[in-house]
Amino acid sequence: MKNTDLIKLPFSKNNPILVQVLGVCSCLAVTAQLKPAVVMAVSVTVVVALSNLIISLMRNTIPPRIRIIVQLVVVSTLVVLVDQVLKAYMYDVSKQLSVFVGLIITNCIVMGRLEAFAMVQKPWPSLLDGLGNGLGYSVILIVLGFVRELFGSGTLWGYPVVEKLGLYNIGYENNGLMIMPPMALILVGLIIWWHRSRNKDLVEQ
Amino acid sequence: MRIKWVEQLFDKIEPTFSEGGKLGWLHSTFDAFHTFALTPKTITRSGSHIRDAVDSKRSIIVVIIALLPALLFGMWNIGYQTAMSTGAGADWHWIYMWWFGFLRMLPMIAVSYIVGLAIEFAFAQYRGHEVNEGFLATGLLIPMIVPVTTPLWQLALAVAFAVIIGKEVFGGSGMNFLNPALVARAFLFFAYPTHMSGDKVWIASTWWGNDAIAGATPMGELATGSAPSASALDMLIGTIPGSTCETSFIAIALGAMLLLFTGIASWRIMLGVFLGGGLMGLLFNAIGGNAYMELPFYYHFLMGGFAFGAVFMATDPVTAAQTNAGKWIYGLLIGVFAVLLRVCNPAYPEGMMLSILFMNCMAPLIDHCIVARNIKMRERRIGK
pLDDT in tens, B32-48: 777 766 666 666 666 66
| pLDDT mean over A161-178 | 86
For the segment A18-24, the average pLDDT, to the nearest whole number, is 85
Mean of pLDDT over chain B: 84
For residue B36, the model assigns a pLDDT of: 67
Give dist(CA B78, CA B63) in Å, integer.
Answer: 23
DSSP state of B148: T
The pLDDT value given to residue B41 = 65
A34-58 and A123-152 are packed helices; what angle lies between their axes, rounded to 10 degrees?
Answer: 170
Query: Nearest Cβ partner of A193 from B151, B169, B190?
Result: B169
- pLDDT of residue B54 exceeding 70, the answer is no
Q: Specify which of A135-144, B28-37, B192-201 reaches the highest per-range mean pLDDT.
A: A135-144
CB A113 within 8 A of CB A133: yes
pLDDT at position A83:
92
Cross-chain residue pair A176–B187, CB shorter than 8 Å: no
Q: What percent of chain A has pLDDT over 90?
A: 45
Q: Residue B52: what pLDDT?
A: 62
Mapped onto helix, strand or coil, the DSSP state of residue B206 is: coil
* Better-scored residue on pLDDT, B223 or B181: B181
d(CA B158, CA B164): 10
At residue A156, φ and ψ (nearest 5 deg) are -140, 120
Angle between helices A34-58 and A67-89 (to 10 degrees): 140
Distance between CA atoms of residues B339 and B192, nearest Å? 24
Amino acid at B244: T
Q: Give residue A158's pLDDT band: very low, low, confident or very high (50, 70, 90).
A: confident
Which of A175, A187, A190, A192 should we substitute to test contact with B (largest number of B Cβ atoms within 10 Å)? A175
B190 with A177: Cβ contact below 8 A: yes
pLDDT at B204 over 80: no
Q: What is the pLDDT of residues A65-121, one digit of tens each?
A: 999 999 999 999 999 999 999 999 988 888 888 888 888 888 888 998 999 888 998
Q: Do A176 and B154 touch (CB under 8 A)?
A: no
Q: Which secondary-structure segment (H or E) carries B58?
A: helix B56-86
CA-angle at B310, arms to B328 and B135, nearest 5°: 110
- Judge: B192–A189 Cβ closer than 8 Å, yes or no: no
Distance from CA of A33 to the nearest CA of B (A): 16
Q: Which ipTM was obtained for this model?
A: 0.86
Nearest to B135 by CA among B244, B57, B28, B52: B57
Domain residue ranges of chain A, discontinuous segments joined by +: 23-195
Query: Which pLDDT score is estimated for B195?
Result: 81
Q: Is the pLDDT of residue A57 over 90?
A: yes
Q: Letter for the amino acid at A174?
A: N
Other C-beta atoms lying within 10 Å of the C-beta of residue B344: 12
Mean pLDDT over B84-91 rounds to: 74
pLDDT tens-digit profile of B340-378? 998 888 777 778 999 999 999 999 999 999 999 999 999
Type of residue numbered A160:
P
Crossing angle of the two packed helices B324-344 and B352-381, in degrees rounded to 10: 150
Q: Judge whether residue B183 has pLDDT over 90.
A: yes
pLDDT tens track for B7-38: 777 777 777 776 666 666 666 677 777 776 66
Q: What is the pLDDT of residue B83?
A: 84
* DSSP per-residue string spanning B79-97: HHHHHHHHT-GGGS-HHHH
pLDDT at A195 over 70: yes
pLDDT value at residue B94: 84
Query: Is the pLDDT at A183 greater than 60, yes or no?
Result: yes
CB-based burial of residue B190 (10 Å sphere; 0-12 exposed, 13-18 middle, 19+ buried)? Answer: middle
**Chain B partners within 8 Å of A170 (Cβ):** none
Coil, helix or strand at residue B203: strand
Q: Residue B314 has what pLDDT? A: 92
3-state secondary structure A34-84: HHHHHHHHHHHHHHHHHHHHHHHHHCCCCCHHHHHHHHHHHHHHHHHHHHH
The region of weakest confidence among A11-15, B45-49, B175-179, B298-302 is B45-49
Checking if the pLDDT of B260 tops 70, the result is yes
* Chain A contact set for B194 (CB, 8 A): 173
The answer to whether residue B71 scores a pLDDT higher than 70 is: yes
- Residue pair B226/B291 in contact (Cβ under 8 Å)? The answer is yes
Rounded distance, CA B202 to CA B192, Å? 15
Least confident of A3-12, A82-91, B298-307: A3-12
Handedness of CA B376, B380, B381, B384 (dihedral sign): positive
Contact B154 A186 (CB under 8 A): no
Backbone angles phi, psi at B203, to 5 degrees: -120, 125
Q: Which residues of A touch B (CB under 8 A)?
A: 171, 173, 175-178, 180, 186, 189, 193
Q: How far out from the chain centre does Cα B315 lie?
A: 9
Q: Do A176 and B192 touch (CB under 8 A)?
A: yes
Whether this prediction's pTM lies above 0.90 is answered by: no
pLDDT exceeds cutoff 80 at B158: yes
**What are the backbone dihedrals phi and psi of residue A8, each rounded to the nearest 5 degrees, phi first?**
-75, -45
